[in-house]
Chains A and B, each alone.
Chain A
């Protein structure tokens, strides 16, 4: 038989949601939801689906993902994170709520180097959550601010999600990196304002004023690590290296720092780091295959075209469409990992965004920022799960603080939608030929 678009969509989306609900892993749910369609529709064969899935791994740009993760893991093992914390302490620790600001600032620095939010939550959380609790901060606040600040990892360049977005949607990764910089910094400052508010209400202490010698040592200690964003972002934006090449340069640089400069990474550690990186990367990337097959299936049944027609008929204009896009990414980000969501929802909504005159870079930043918030919202908030595990607390107890901290971050998302120039300013300025 030949399935209609409506029936196919119901089976695909309904089947997927049901499977996720009964706790089948997301990657397998995407694959299993396809099975009945392939069995029913005579135009489809398992071979087509397998090929669609397998070919999605045949992407050189995706190789950047394990290398950015490797760089992050090397930084955490090589005590580079500690150096960044020392630097953040002298930069922001003197303000009321000092360690809260340090937590946000180190996430901004870490984000500029690694591109992984989960590595940020794990690396910084291990040090800062116990330190904050020890200094009298409420554990719930310490966990919530660690989780929420770690989302900047995928917004401030370099970003693994931007690499995947660029690869899947054929958008310049350099342009995406530049477009994410200002929104990422705005989220960072919004978080610091929230920390300040908390400090005033709960009378949280400062982390002390730094001495001149301490400041000098902190800058000297972190200087080599802070060269990474220049190498990575400068290299890509300047058209010198590809995203994959920049990722391996970042990893090689972190390796040199850890093994030869700081001498904190041993050969034995390296084995573990390689394994951990490969394992975590493969779990994230495996979903790309099943998500690609699922996304292809939606395209096969013309779902993206129907979405465009539906959204156009509503006549919401750019602003309304952007709000709907953000809401959809926020909603799906609650339940699904960001990478498969980009592949499925991103490709479905891309024509709708284009029809509403939303610039591809602005569409990407709205999607990525919305998905980043999904990293701290249950039931599938990886960064929140990691931070709560470090703080030894049930996720549900932290939710009220997460909501309070997320509100100003949502305001930034709204500002990006209202004023797209926030995202477009840097690409237009630094890459005028491509984005003029």
Chain B
């Protein structure tokens, strides 16, 4: 049930990445067109909008990668050979990501508040628009890593029951 809900959330995030990536082409493309043609005037806000979208793509991508476990890791340490040590190996990684997510979410709230009292230079947009991505990313990493941690422990329990 919870796993299903989180998968649905991740599906939404994947869709959002695709949409934002396509959207990113618009302000950057407008910049190129306005610089080299007279079709549209030079809009200074395009650079700002592009970086806003870019920040969100990076943050959402990092959330999806926690769920999909596709963040780059290095396999120097050999695979654990027993179910218990497999649980410890995989569980430790997820627990540490969870901890980082919690810190990011907690301290990110203060950071988002700092964004709330500022406006961007060109668009005069409230910077909460992008700063809020910090605590949101922390929260979503925490959610995803918690569930993956639960899965690791649950898998170990099931294996233990099956062998006993």
Contacts and interface: CB of A to CB of B under 8 A. Distances in A.
A54 B128 CA distance: 13
Interface in B16-63: 17-22, 24-25, 28-29, 31-32, 35, 47, 50-51, 54-55, 57-62
B21 A70 contact: yes
Chain A interface size band reads 35 or more
Contacts of A373: none
A63 B24 CA distance: 9
B72 A26 contact: yes
Given A22-B92, A23-B77, A28-B100, A63 B61 contact: no
Contacts, number: 164
Contacts of B58: 57, 281-282, 285-286, 289
Contact of B73 (A23, A60, A67, A70): A23
A27 interface: yes
Contacts of A63: 24, 28, 50-51, 54
Interface string A146-164: 0000000000000000000
Nearest to B32: A245
A25 interface: yes
A66 B59 CA distance: 14
A286 B62 contact: yes
A289 B31 CA distance: 26
Contacts of A67: 25, 28
A299 B17 CA distance: 34
Given A21-B77, A28-B100, A275 B21 contact: yes
Contacts of A274: 17-19, 21-22
Given A63-B28, A283-B62, A286-B61, A23 B17 contact: no
B15 to A, nearest CB: 8
A282 B61 contact: yes
B19 to A, nearest CB: 8
Given A67-B28, A274-B21, A283 B74 contact: no
Q: Is the interface of B mostly helix, strand, loop or mixed?
A: helix
A277 interface: yes
Contact of B96 (A24, A271, A275): A24
B14 to A, nearest CB: 6
Contact of B54 (A57, A249, A271, A272): A57
B20 A20 contact: no
Nearest to A336: B74
A21 B54 CA distance: 31
Interface of A: 19-28, 31-32, 35, 46-47, 50-51, 54, 57-60, 62-63, 66-67, 70, 241, 244-245, 248-249, 251-252, 270-272, 274-275, 277-279, 281-283, 285-287, 289, 335-337, 379-380, 382
